[in-house]
Structure 1
Amino acid sequence: MSINRRLTTDADFQEAMERQLRMRVFKHDHIVDSGGVILRFDDHTVVIQTSVSELAYHDRRDCEFFELKRRS
């Protein structure tokens, strides 16, 4: 079981990017991305890498971002 923490501020995204935390992304109440790490972000877009050659660009206004933590 995992614990999800929602990312809302630039500081949240910066921490997740620096610590290379695994992410889960929802759009319209559906999971659209899971298990990737944030490569970069700005006011409009978050770029997540899930594998060596797979990048996803997510709109910050349309999506919800959650940090995945494993429950101990």
Structure 2
Amino acid sequence: MSINRRLHTDLDFEEVLEQQLRIRVFRDNLLIDSSSLIVRFDDSIIVTQSGVSDIAYHNRKECEFFLLRKH
């Protein structure tokens, strides 16, 4: 069974960044980025990387971020 955990706070993003956990990103209820690592973040932008040259910049206010954990 999988559990989606929504990421809200800087502490949430810091934990995911440090542990190299993969996330999913949604905008307007559409999946726009899946199985990506957080490279860096600040108050307005979350930078993710899904491959060697696949880097994406997501507006923190416009997107929802989820950690997928398998239980």
How many residues were matched structurally?
71
5 Å-filtered alignment, 1:13-52, equals: 13-52=13-52
The one-letter code sitting in structure 1 at the alignment partner of 2:31 is I
Instruction: Give the alignment's Cα RMSD to 1 decimal.
Output: 0.8
Task: Say which SS state the counterpart of residue 43 (structure 1) adopts.
Answer: coil
Task: Say which SS state the counterpart of residue 51 (structure 1) adopts.
Answer: coil
Q: Distance in 1 between matches of 2:70 and 2:56?
A: 23
Task: Say which SS state the counterpart of residue 55 (structure 2) adopts.
Answer: strand
Q: Report the CA distance between 1:2 and its aligned residue.
A: 2.2
Moved over 3 A (4+): none
Q: Report the CA distance between 1:70 and its aligned residue.
A: 1.4
The one-letter code sitting in structure 1 at the alignment partner of 2:36 is G
Structure 2 spans left out of the alignment, 5+ residues: none
Other-structure match for 1:9: 9
* TM-score, normalised relative to structure 1: 0.94
